[in-house]
Chain A
Amino acid sequence: MSDSEIAIKVENLSKQYRLGTVGTGTISHDLNRWWAQVRGKEDPFLKIGETNDRSKAGNSDYVWSLKDINFEVKQGEVLGIIGKNGAGKSTLLKILSKVTGPTTGRISAKGRIGALLEVGTGFHPELTGRENIFLNGAILGMTKVEIRAKLDEIIDFSGCARYVDTPVKRYSSGMKVRLAFAVAAFLEPEILIVDEVLAVGDAEFQKKAIGKMQDVSKGDGRTVLFVSHNMAAVENLCSSALVLDKGMIRFNLEVKEAIDNYLKISVEQNELLDFKSRIPNGMGNVQISHVDVYPDNESRFIKIRDTLVFDIDLSNKSAQGKLDIGIRVFNERETNIFSCSTLMTKTSLFLKSFENNIKVLCRVNSPFLIPGRYFFSVQVNLNNDQQDRIERVLQFEVLEEDFYSTGSKTNINKGEVLVDHVWIKNEN
C-alpha cells in the first residue's frame, strides 16, 4: 500500500484517563507533574495506569482508555469499529474528531474530518428550524454559502418542511433528530465519522439514513469510519473492521472475519464473567448476584418452543422502593430481538429494605427464536435510578428441533423468528 492512498494514519495512539472524582489531590498531582517537567523527567503519572478492564477494580487512579493504537485507512474505505461498551471506541472517535486530545501518539489525515457523532447538539430551542440548520451546519464546519446551496435538499430530506419556521423547542424529539441528521448528512468532509446515529428515528428514516451513508461511501468515494453495535449494519456498510478490546486493537480484518472473531471473544469473556468480583454498573445498592436462563421443563437445554425463564438473583444493601428490571435479548449480529421490562408491563415489584437476597423470575412465552446463540443484558433500577447492569455478555443457546414436525431440521437463514403457519388453497 503506497502512502498516497492512505487517508488516515494513526501511530502509537494512547489516551489516559484519571478515574474517580477530580477534587482533592489534583493540585498536588499538577504540581508533581510540573516539577517533573521542569527537571526534564517523564510525567510521573503516565507510568502507572493499567489496561482498561472495567469489570475488575484496579489499584491505580489512572487508566489507559486506548493503548498503542496503530492503523491506517485507505482512501474511500469504509472501516467499521466494533467492540464492547468501554472498549475505547468512543474515545478513539473523540480523538479523531478533535474533541479531546491524545495523551501520546499522532494522527495524520488527508482532508477535513467531519464527525457525525450524537446529532442534535448545538440546536438552540428559541431559534426556528431554518435558523438552526444554518447554526448547526456552521458548527459542523460548513460555510453559509454551502448551507444555502443545500438548504432545500436539507429541509426536504428532514421531512420537516411544514415546521421549518417554527422554533425548535416546539418540535417533537423525533423531528429534532431528523433535522439534525439531515444537516449532518449533507456535510461533505473528505473523512466522515459516524457513531451509532442509525439507531435513531423511525424505520422509514433509518432506511433513508443508511441509503445516504451508502451513497457517501460508494458514490463519492469518501472515507468513512463507522462505529456501531449493530453487526448487521457494520457488515452491510463496511469493507473491513477494527475490533477494539480494553483499549487495544484485537483484530483489524476484512469485515466478516472481524465480526466472527469479535463474537468469539465476547463468548470467551462471558465464561469468565465472575459474579462475585464484578463491580456493579450503577449505584450498586441493589446488585445482580446471579443470572440464569432455562426452559420451564426439566431439561437444561432450550428448544424453540420452550417457555423461557429468566432467573435473576439480587442482593440488596437494605435499600427499598420501586424495583424495575429490564431484559434485552440480542442475536449474534447484536440486533435486539425482544425486550422484557417491568416498565412495559407496568408491574410493580416493591423491594423492602430487609430483603437482602431476592430472586425475580421472568417467564417468556416462546418467541420461536431461530436456533442459534443469543445474548442478553439485564438492568436493575430502584426508584428509577440505575442500580446495576450487565451488558450483553450473558448468553444462551436455542437448539434446533423439528419445529414444523416435518421430520427435517429448520432452515435458520430465513428471518429472525419462526412462526407457526398454515397454507390454505381456496377454489373459486
Chain B
Amino acid sequence: MSQEHWDTVIEPKSALFDLKIKELRQYKDLLLLFVRRDLVAQYKQTILGPIWYFIQPILTTLTYVLIFGNVAGLSTDGLPKMLFYLAGVTSWRYFADSLTKTSETFSKNADIFGKVYFPRAIMPISITITNLVTYGVQLILFFAFYAYYVVSRQFDLSIQRELALFPVLIFIMMLLGLGFGFILSALTTKYRDLKFLITFGVQLLMYGTPVIYPLSSIPEEYKIYIMANPMTPIIETFRYMFLGTGTLDYGHLLYSTVFAIVLFIIGLAIFNRTEKNFMDTV
C-alpha cells in the first residue's frame, strides 16, 4: 500500500516555493503557443499591423520630449532628448507591461482557468516572454535612432564595456515584473479594488524612477527615496551602458538583484497558494 505509485495526487495544500519545473516542461508547447497567440493576435485586423510595436514607443517618447524636455525643461544629462527618453521608456515599458499583464493573470483568464487545468504559471511566463520579444523589437528602434544620431554627428558612439551586464538587467526586470505581478494577481482575485490602483500605481512608480529625468538631477535629500526603488539602478545602468551618462553603482545593482529574487520567491509562494482556490473567489 505504502509503496503504491500514484501519478497524480490532489491535496488541499501544495508546496509553496515549488516552481513545478517538471510540470512546466510538459507544457512547453503550450507556452510557445501562448506567446505566438499574443504576438500574432494582438494586431490582427489592424491596418498598420506590427508597425504598432514601433509607433507606440515613438509617440510616448515624442510626448515626453515635448512635455518634459521642452516645456518643463528637465535635464537629460546633455544627451539628445530623443535618445534619453527612448532609453528610459523602452526598458520601463518592459517592466511595466510585464507587471500589469501578470497582475491580470487570474481575472482575465478566469473563464479558461475555470474549465481546464494547466500550470497557471504558464500564463505569466508566456507574458514575460511575449513582452521580451516586444522589448527586443523596440530595442531595434532604439538602435535605429542611436545610429541616426551617431551618423549625423549629433552624438558620439559611447557604448561601454559594461554592456556585458545587459542580460543581468533583463533578468532582474523579469523577476521584478513577475514578482510584483504574482502578488498583485493573487490580491486582485480577492480584492477587486486593486485593479483600479495598479494602472495608477505603475504610472506613479514611473515618476519615482529616473525615466524622464536623470538620477543626477535629484536633490541629495530625496535621492534615497529614488534609490530605494529597485528599478532605478536598472534604468541608470542601461543609460550608462549605451549612452555613457548616468551612474553605474554595483552595490546599488546588487540591492536590486536581491530585492528582485526575494520578491519573486514571495510572489511565487502567494501565486501557488492562489492557483488552487482562486476559482472560488473570482
A interface, CB within 8 angstroms of B: 3, 9, 17-18, 22, 26, 94-113, 115, 117-118, 121-122, 124, 126-127, 131, 134-135, 138-144, 167
CB distance A104 to B12 under 8 Å? yes
List chain A residues, Cβ under 8 A from B161: none
CB distance B29 to A121 under 8 Å? no
CB distance A99 to B113 under 8 Å? yes
CB distance A117 to B115 under 8 Å? yes
CB distance B117 to A99 under 8 Å? yes
List chain B residues, Cβ under 8 A from A97: 116-117
Is B204 interfacial (CB 8 A cutoff)? Answer: no
B interface, CB within 8 angstroms of A: 1, 4-13, 26-27, 29-30, 33-34, 37, 40-41, 44-45, 111-118, 190-191, 276-277, 279-281
A124-B37 contact, Cβ under 8 Å, with A108-B8, A109-B6, A139-B116? yes
Contact of B27 among A113, A126, A138 (CB under 8 A): A138
CB distance A111 to B7 under 8 Å? yes
A96 closest partner in B (C-beta): B10
Give CA–CA (A109, B6) in the complex, Å. Answer: 6
Contact of B30 among A98, A138, A167 (CB under 8 A): A138
Give CA–CA (A122, B34) in the complex, Å. Answer: 10
CB distance B10 to A99 under 8 Å? no
CB distance B277 to A135 under 8 Å? no
Contact of B9 among A96, A99, A108 (CB under 8 A): A108
Give CA–CA (A110, B10) in the complex, Å. Answer: 12
CB distance B7 to A112 under 8 Å? yes
Give CA–CA (A104, B40) in the complex, Å. Answer: 42
- Taking the closest CB of chain B, its distance from the CB of A157, in whole angstroms, is 20
CB distance B37 to A135 under 8 Å? yes
- Taking the closest CB of chain A, its distance from the CB of B22, in whole angstroms, is 13
CB distance A18 to B116 under 8 Å? no
Give CA–CA (A3, B276) in the complex, Å. Answer: 28
- Taking the closest CB of chain B, its distance from the CB of A222, in whole angstroms, is 14
Q: List 8 A-B pairs, Cβ < 8 Å.
A: A99-B115, A99-B279, A102-B11, A110-B7, A115-B115, A122-B116, A126-B40, A139-B116
A126-B279 contact, Cβ under 8 Å, with A26-B190, A101-B12, A140-B116? no
- Taking the closest CB of chain B, its distance from the CB of A185, in whole angstroms, is 15
Give CA–CA (A143, B45) in the complex, Å. Answer: 29
A147 closest partner in B (C-beta): B29
A125 closest partner in B (C-beta): B41
Contact of A3 among B4, B11, B111, B118 (CB under 8 A): B4
A22 closest partner in B (C-beta): B281
- Taking the closest CB of chain B, its distance from the CB of A314, in whole angstroms, is 34
CB distance A101 to B112 under 8 Å? no
B113 closest partner in A (C-beta): A99
- Taking the closest CB of chain A, its distance from the CB of B224, in whole angstroms, is 32
- Taking the closest CB of chain A, its distance from the CB of B204, in whole angstroms, is 24
Contact of A107 among B10, B13, B112 (CB under 8 A): B10
Give CA–CA (A369, B34) in the complex, Å. Answer: 52
Contact of A106 among B10, B114, B190 (CB under 8 A): B10
CB distance B9 to A106 under 8 Å? yes
- Taking the closest CB of chain B, its distance from the CB of A170, in whole angstroms, is 12
List chain B residues, Cβ under 8 A from A140: 116
CB distance B115 to A118 under 8 Å? yes
CB distance B10 to A98 under 8 Å? yes
- Taking the closest CB of chain B, its distance from the CB of A107, in whole angstroms, is 4
A22-B190 contact, Cβ under 8 Å, with A126-B45, A141-B27? yes
